[in-house]
Amino acid sequence: MITDTDAIDLALRLDGNAVAGDFQALVGFDVTMLQMVCTHCLKEGIFANLLAYVRGPGIVLRCPTCEGLVLQLTKTPLGVVVYVDERTDRVPNETLLNAINQLL
Amino acid sequence: MKKIQWQIASVKAIVQETPRVKTFTLQLPDWIPHLPGQHYDLRLTAEDGYQAERSYSIASPPEQTDEIDLTIELIDDGEVSSYLHDGITVGDPLEVRGPIGGYFVWKDTMATEPLVLIAGGSGVVPLMAMLRHRAQIGATNPTVLLFSVRMDNGVIYQQELERLAEQNTNFRLLLTFTRQPPNGWTGYQRRIDKEMLQEVMAPLNGQPNCFVCGPTLLVEQVASALVDVGLPFERIRTERFGPTGT
Ligand SMILES: Cc1cc2nc3c(=O)[nH]c(=O)nc-3n(C[C@H](O)[C@H](O)[C@H](O)COP(=O)(O)OP(=O)(O)OC[C@H]3O[C@@H](n4cnc5c(N)ncnc54)[C@H](O)[C@@H]3O)c2cc1C
Ligand SMILES: [Zn+2]
């Protein structure tokens, strides 16, 4: 039995690829190969390599390098709420954000 | 590109692969050719509207048209896997969408480069689609599957894998048993580590494409060991299946 919250988080960790279906349904294209920039550590990477936590009320995507929050998506009965962390002027990915913004 | 839609598949066949693993062949009204390594999402809906969604890799190669094979391990107390194992019979409808994912895929352009596939448990499923497709297109690139299983009776696709290894001298099958090896077993009997990876990769010329799939912890440990033995990050593709059982 795992009791420690960190250990549970670790065990339940998936990758960006695991949430590709939800994002593709939302924005209409495969997001896995999109170049992403982490707003915290500014490292570049691709969507598929983000850390994904999917067992909460929504989907949380974190940077594989610094574990900073990159994207959060919550499904509600009324629709989908997307939260993108934007502490700097560098955004995770313009293609993805534009697509999401058009939906909201 | 059109949005992927949920569709109702019909269960065409169910095959027991190991005591805890079954393959479900799903007939799809809207089959789309996939790349080996892609997955489908599967959604169950209860009478009260409650829904549960899980991802399952495609086991069949794209040459198998109009249907897909999903190979699913029974997880104790697993919401979706136990329903599929105990509650589904041939002819039943199942709601799926896919194919999904453009990252964890073996492309035909890689067919001339060495290939290293590393699986833990049901993580072998997307790798099997790659091996099946590789056989279908007649690729002869040096390929090895390093497959970590717990027990003797846990080797999913065992006969087919052994047959593939016999038929194609450029494909090697390497098993490692972490708990209970078969009687008289002389191969690996431990978790995948750096030394094992070094041995497995040594005969390959050039930098292989490497696909690692299975329980989260195995994937992460193997990926970092691969970096330690000198494989560049860009050559390593990983797919995490979730918790490591007990
Ligand atoms: C991209 C992708 C592809 C996948 N492909 C396959 C596949 O081809 N075949 C396959 O069998 N599975 C595959 N999985 C895992 C699958 O999606 C489910 O996680 C798994 O079937 C368990 O779901 P469940 O509802 O039965 O268990 P849940 O009800 O979700 O969980 C029950 C218990 O089992 C634990 N658990 C959850 N998932 C796993 C797991 N994967 N291994 C061990 N323990 C677990 C949970 O922590 C919990 O304690 C894939 C996952 C991803 C992200
Ligand atoms: Zn970061």
Query: How much is the average pLDDT of B126-135?
Result: 98
Whole-number pLDDT of residue B198: 95
Neighbours of B124 (CB within 10 A): 27
Residue B11 has pLDDT above 70, yes or no: yes
Residue B245 has pLDDT above 80, yes or no: no
Residue type, A85: D
Contact A21 B98 (CB under 8 A): yes
Residue B1 has pLDDT above 70, yes or no: no
Global pTM value = 0.94
Instruction: Tell me the per-residue pLDDT of B23-48, one tens digit each, with 9 for 90 and over.
Output: 999 999 999 999 999 999 999 999 99
CB B23 within 8 A of CB B15: yes
* Residue B2 with chain A: CB contacts under 8 Å: 28
Whole-number pLDDT of residue A1: 42
Q: What tokens were used for B72?
A: 């699913």
Residue B89 has pLDDT above 50, yes or no: yes
* Residue B102 with chain A: CB contacts under 8 Å: 20, 30, 32-33
Which residues does ligand 1 sit against, CB inside 6 Å? A 14, 17-18; B 39, 54-57, 71-73, 75, 77-82, 122, 125, 215, 239, 241-243, 245
Q: Find, in chain B, the residue whose alpha carbon is nearest to that of A45.
A: B234
Whole-number pLDDT of residue A84: 67
Contact A46 B240 (CB under 8 A): no
CB B180 within 8 A of CB B210: no
Ligand 1 centre to CA of B54 (Å) is 7
Query: How much is the average pLDDT of B219-230?
Result: 96
How many angstroms away from the CA of A87 is the closest CA of chain B?
28
Q: What tokens were used for B128?
A: 């099997």
Per residue of chain A (104 residues), give pLDDT as tens.
Answer: 445 566 666 668 999 999 999 999 888 899 999 988 888 898 989 999 999 998 877 899 999 999 998 888 887 766 667 776 655 455 667 777 777 777 66
For residue B36, whether the previous peptide bond is cis, meaning omega lies within 30 degrees of 0, is no
Whole-number pLDDT of residue B215: 95
Q: What tokens were used for A104?
A: 């909201």
Q: What atom of ligand 1 comes closest to residue A14's alpha carbon? A: 53
Residue given tokens 């209409």 in the structure block = A28
Whole-number pLDDT of residue A37: 85
Query: How much is the average pLDDT of B144-166?
Result: 96
* Residue B217 with chain A: CB contacts under 8 Å: 10-11
Q: In what order do the strands lie in the sheet with B236-240?
A: B171-180, B143-151, B115-120, B209-214, B236-240
Instruction: Tell me the per-residue pLDDT of A4-33, one tens digit each, with 9 for 90 and over.
Output: 566 666 668 999 999 999 999 888 899 999
Q: What is the mean pLDDT of chain B?
A: 95
What are the CA-CA distances from residue B175 to residues A71, B71, B140, B178, B199 (Å)? 39, 19, 21, 10, 13
Alpha-carbon distance of B54 to B201, in angstroms, equals 33
What are the CA-CA distances from residue A92 to residues A28, A68, B129 (Å)? 18, 12, 32
How many angstroms away from the CA of B41 is the closest CA of chain A?
7
CA A68 to chain centre: 11
